Amino acid sequence: MSAETADRVHRRTEALAAEGIDVVRVAYPDMMGSDRGRDILLHHLPHAVGHGLAFSRAVYHTAALGDHSYIPGGLEAGMPDFLVRPDLTTLVALPWEPGVAWCIGDVRDPATGLPVPESPRDLLRQVIGRLLDADLTAVVGPELEYVLLDPDPDSPVGWRRYAPAPGHVYTTGRKSDPDGHLLRTLRALHALGLDVSGGNREFDSGQFEINLSHSEALDAADRAFRFKAAIKELAHAEGRLATFMAKPFNDGGGSGCHVHLSLVDAEGRNVFDAPREPYGLSAPARHALAGVLAHAPALSALLNPTVNSYKRFGPDTTAPWLVNWGLDNRNALVRVPPERGGAARLEARLGDATANPYLAIAGLLAAAHLGIAAAEEPPAPMTGEGRDRGTATPLPTDLGRALDALEGDDQLTDALGKPFVDAFLTFKRDELARFQRYVTDWEFREYARLV
């Protein structure tokens, strides 16, 4: 650490102490998008910035319940370290934990000083860098849904949906949120500096959507990552569970992760806007759209990354399941909202809320960039409900097919980097194998008495 950097860190440490901060929470995303990290006492911050905090690289290969995948650099290599250095530009006080400041860490290999292949934040940086080389900056606005649950010892899963109120989609206030969860949460997220724009009750009971304002891609992913972690923390503090599962209940709807994206040039002009061209979209916009459609089957592995994800799709759902696009049509996989000018953008609607924001955004931007390079035009926009299989290809119908599509998409694999894709495929195929060995309640109910 240079003398100048050390002086900056020292001044920052003194400022934090003056604000009553004595602990810094350093977090980083794993491949699932979950927050991993460590709390350090404030006096240790200069050492953490200069040297880094050591973690076992096998954490990237560890699933939700502790199962390990055999990915190069992990268990078979003796579980070596990687280092996490606090990114002080992301440091913010936690409104609900007095004395604690929260920041995101940069992950590095201690031997080379380079990012490790499994680091989602660095993968997104890599994709952003290619766009910057073309004098393009990605602007992204994520929209995330989640379901809030109350404890219920009589439920088979131990939880029930908060505030059952069928039909209260797009409502606010106590009629659908009797405990005031949404307002409390919006205020906490605002105090955290996440630049949320608003929220409402969504389609299902206990389901909420909170929108994040658009910003440059890395900042948008950072805020979406923190948003998910914060929502879960705030729910835990109230004895509740907030789940971003794609479809947590058989008799309920799914939770989506919609991503609005556009590109601006070096002067800050939206390059997607072109009033005199087809659909009011420029050639780069149409080519980017064609790229997302062309790589949509592979993208589903990143934006619909769990076994449960594929329970959300189908002809009888509002989730898009065919590879198509539409003008202001929410049945489409890619919707083009009606605004033009500086607000011209694409809305990718295939993702569900389990998606890792860094991987989802990186995949979409890589596909858009590939589309621009190929300079191909998209097909005609769909109209109406768009459920005709004869006019569009279906997305993969399960996680295994999605992983196969990702592995078979050489262009997208090259754009994301083979080391990352190999690690991701191994991690997810292990997850799929565990599920395929698991005896479900459905199987017992279906077969136990009659066969």
At 1, the pLDDT band (50, 70, 90 cuts) reads low
Whose tokens are 């989640």? That residue is 146
Burial call 21-42: b when 16+ CB within 10 Å, e when fewer: bebbbbbbbbbbbbbbbbebeb
Instruction: Specify the pLDDT at position 77.
Output: 63
252, 249, 170, 160: which is closest to 204 by C-alpha?
252
Q: What span, in angstroms and rounded, lies between the C-alpha atoms of 428 and 440? A: 19
At 168, the pLDDT band (50, 70, 90 cuts) reads confident
Structural tokens at position 322 = 């065919």
At 74, the pLDDT band (50, 70, 90 cuts) reads low
Between the CA of residue 94 and those of 20, 104, 242, what are the distances in Å?
A: 12, 13, 19
For residue 409, pLDDT over 90 is answered with yes
pLDDT in tens, 42-64: 999 999 999 999 998 888 888 88
Start and end residues for every CATH 3.10.20.70 domain found in the chain: 3-115
Residue pair 436/386 in contact (Cβ under 8 Å)? The answer is no
At 81, the pLDDT band (50, 70, 90 cuts) reads confident
Looking at residues 53-77, what average pLDDT do you find?
81
At 27, the pLDDT band (50, 70, 90 cuts) reads very high
Q: Tell me how long the chain is.
A: 451
Structural tokens at position 86 = 């606090």
For residue 286, pLDDT over 60 is answered with yes
Instruction: Specify the pLDDT at position 2.
Output: 59
Instruction: Specify the pLDDT at position 384.
Output: 82
362, 102, 415, 29: which is closest to 217 by C-alpha?
362
Instruction: Specify the pLDDT at position 216.
Output: 97
Find the Cα–Cα–Cα–Cα dihedral 165, 169, 171, 177, rounded to 10°: 30
pLDDT in tens, 185-210: 999 999 999 999 988 888 888 999 99
**What is the CATH code of the structural domain delimited by 126-441?**
3.30.590.10
Q: What is the mean pLDDT of the chain?
A: 92
Q: What span, in angstroms and rounded, lies between the C-alpha atoms of 316 and 104? A: 40
In three-state form (DSSP H/G/I as H, E/B as E, the rest C), the secondary structure along the chain is CCHHHHHHHHHHHHHHHHCCCCEEEEEEECCCCCEEEEEEEHHHHHHHHHCCEEEEHHHHHECCCCCECCCCCCHHHCCCEEEEEECHHHCEECCCCCCEEEEEEEEECCCCCCCCCCCHHHHHHHHHHHHHHCCCEEEEEEEEEEEEEEECCCCCCCEEECCCCCCCCCECCCCCCCCCHHHHHHHHHHHCCCCEEEEEECCCCCEEEEEECCEEHHHHHHHHHHHHHHHHHHHHHCCCEEECCCCCCCCCCCCEEEEEEEEECCCCCECCECCCCHHHECHHHHHHHHHHHHCHHHHHHHHCCCCHHHHCCCCCCCCCCECCEEECCCCCCEEECCCCHHHCCEEECCCECCCCHHHHHHHHHHHHHHHHHHCCCCCCCCCCCCCCCCCCCECCCCHHHHHHHHHHCHHHHHHHCHHHHHHHHHHHHHHHHHHHHCCCHHHHHHHCCCC
Start and end residues for every CATH 3.30.590.10 domain found in the chain: 126-441
pLDDT in tens, 95-143: 999 999 999 999 999 999 999 999 999 999 999 999 999 999 999 999 9
For residue 79, pLDDT over 80 is answered with no
Q: Which residues pair with 372 in a beta bridge?
A: none
Looking at residues 9-38, what average pLDDT do you find?
93
Q: Which fold has domain 3-115?
A: Ubiquitin-like (UB roll) (3.10.20)
